[in-house]
Structure 1
Amino acid sequence: MEEIYRAHARTVYKFLLSPCHDPETAEELTQETFYQAVRSADRFDGSCKVSTWLCQIAKHLFYHHVRKRRREEPLPEEGDGLPPLPSAEAEAMDRDGQLSLLRRIHALPEPGREVVYLRTFGGLSFREIGEVLGRTETWARVTFYRSKEQLKKGGEHDEG
């Protein structure tokens, strides 16, 4: 497991830092990711790359962290200088757009889906993606570009 940690800790950290924007939280969640990976190692069936499996664990831990934080945050007082909250309608439309995009990303064929996840949510460079997936930087760039084009075409069909 130590070898897996050395090989993938930076990838998991960058994957978590992208959505949480807090190095300390990303570091804590990275450590927790590997702890959970050790606990559930017997359930890893090899159907995906180790880095993908670890990022899935990290993603679930991040979502759990966000839900926990929301429960613990006090509600702001009215007139406390914060900008007005978006309407429920605006939030629902924004969330629907995000869910639609996530569904289209999830529907991409492999390895495009994994490249998009690592680039978009993991914040990895094309060189790092190539290293993680055992390919070249150029392959990662081309695969990302082609997948992005597929997503654009999918979006046009949703609206038209």
Structure 2
Amino acid sequence: MESNYEEVYAKYFPKVYLYIFTICHDEHIAEEVTQEAFFKALKNISSFKGECKLQTWLCQIAKNTLYDFYKKENRQVSIENYSNELISDIDLIIAFEQNNQIIKVHECLHHLEEPYKEVFTLRIFAELSFKQIGELFNKTDGWARVVFYRAKKKLLEELK
């Protein structure tokens, strides 16, 4: 298990760290929370049932760890701000996996017009940054971010 854990840590730590960093915008907090999340994951690995991807499970632990961190620090964090305006990519994936809606998502995605379809696909499935997506379209990263969130909003509306 030890070498397997080291492989998991090496593979997923950067992704989980970036996820937490996008929420908190603080390198030190993101690193501390991510390390704590991996410790919790190792301690509770028996509770991982494989109902979602390992990365999704780790990100969920990390997000909960971040909220616990903020509670300890007496900081106010509004979950609604994240879920209404900037629903995170991982949260979106978690919702799809938990509801077994992957096929439905792909059907809805197929009906999206361009550039929404391509930007969403590049962001979620190719895991490209907004900067990389903007460069592909000869646009700014801000443009890519706006198009992505509009595409995500349209997909969520379609799925409801």
Q: TM-score range by the shorter chain?
A: 0.5 to 0.7
- 2:154 paired residue among 143, 152, 155: 152
Structure 2 residue runs of 5 or longer lacking an equivalent are 106-119, 130-146
1:8 alignment counterpart: 12
With over 3 angstroms needed to count, the CA separation of the structure-2 counterparts of 1:45 and 1:64, relative to structure 1, is same
Does 1:70 find its partner at 2:74?
yes
With over 3 angstroms needed to count, the CA separation of the structure-2 counterparts of 1:34 and 1:96, relative to structure 1, is closer
Determine if contact 2:86/2:149 at 8 Å carries over to the other structure: no
Identity among equivalent pairs (%):
32
Superimposed CA distance per residue, residues 24-82 of structure 1 (whole angstroms, 9 cap, x where no aligned partner): 111111110110011000111111111001000001001111122226x9xxxxxxxxx
- 1:110 paired residue among 102, 107, 116: 102
Q: State the superposition RMSD in angstroms.
A: 4.3
One-letter amino acid matched to 2:16: V
Whole-Å Cα distance in 2 between the matches of residues 21 and 150 of structure 1? 22
**Structure 1 runs (4+) greater than 3 angstroms displaced:** 95-102, 104-108, 145-150, 153-156
With over 3 angstroms needed to count, the CA separation of the structure-2 counterparts of 1:49 and 1:147, relative to structure 1, is farther
Superimposed CA distance per residue, residues 71-105 of structure 1 (whole angstroms, 9 cap, x where no aligned partner): 6x9xxxxxxxxxxxxxxxxxx9xx48945985x95
- 1:41 paired residue among 28, 45, 60: 45
TM-score (norm 1): 0.53
Does 1:23 find its partner at 2:27?
yes
Larger RCO: 1 or 2 (CA < 8 Å, sep 6+):
1
2:136 alignment counterpart: none
One-letter amino acid matched to 1:152: K
